[in-house]
A and B are shown apart, each in its own frame.
Chain A
Amino acid sequence: AQTVTQSQPEMSVQEAETVTLSCTYDTSESDYYLFWYKQPPSRQMILVIRQEAYKQQNATENRFSVNFQKAAKSFSLKISDSQLGDAAMYFCAYRRRLDNNNDMRFGAGTRLTVKP
């Protein structure tokens, strides 16, 4: 079974600074998707960024970017120019690309605090 590990239960960053959240995963598959979801205090899960394993280029979405290291099975999220609104729980998730059922696996989450 695939597992997703987020080794940092909590992180903090100063407003306007950069922070990196770590995620590793375990799989024997070669074709899959990786995701970062954000869960703010409202508890609504919001997709932050998505990476397809067959793409070597790291995904970026405005201030959010990933460092995808397929061989190391690592998928970290970098948040640049941190804003107060970035404070939330962040979940890393994995899903096989070809999936006739649901096999999305989530890490335990990292709570990010942004200090003004």
Chain B
Amino acid sequence: DGGITQSPKYLFRKEGQNVTLSCEQNLNHDAMYWYRQDPGQGLRLIYYSQIVNDFQKGDIAEGYSVSREKKESFPLTVTSAQKNPTAFYLCASSIGVGQGAGANVLTFGAGSRLTVL
């Protein structure tokens, strides 16, 4: 079945460490996104990528980095510069902009819960 796989589901980090969250999709989608979810708040966009080897900052990109070397993969690194990284992280994808109405629909992964110890 096509979908988005995020790993690990749970991750613990010590302060000062960088960690990388994996996101893989087999939907042949061009666009991929990373969102952060905190209690009582909606999803906030961290980074997005419309095409391989290109990505853009979202609303809360500080302390995060991404890469998009393959269409299927969009890993997110939470760096030590992120002051409050404990949160639930969601990866999403969509067909590319300009490819019809489906471009506006996001398909989500199951998420990764990051806790800083």
Contacts and interface: CB of A to CB of B under 8 A. Distances in A.
Interface of A: 4, 9, 33, 35, 37, 42-47, 50, 52, 91, 93, 95, 97, 99-102, 104-109
- Categorize the interface residue count of chain B: 20 to 34
Interface of B: 31, 33, 40-45, 48, 50, 56, 58, 88, 90, 92, 97, 101, 104-111
Contacts of B104: 33, 50, 95, 97, 99, 104
B106 to A, nearest CB: 7
Given A47-B105, A91-B42, A102 B58 contact: yes
Contact of A102 (B40, B48, B105, B108): B48
Nearest to A32: B104
A106 B108 CA distance: 14
A9 to B, nearest CB: 8
A65 to B, nearest CB: 18
B45 A44 contact: no
A109 B88 CA distance: 15
B42 A44 contact: no
A102 B33 contact: yes
Given A91-B42, A106-B43, A109-B42, A99 B97 contact: yes
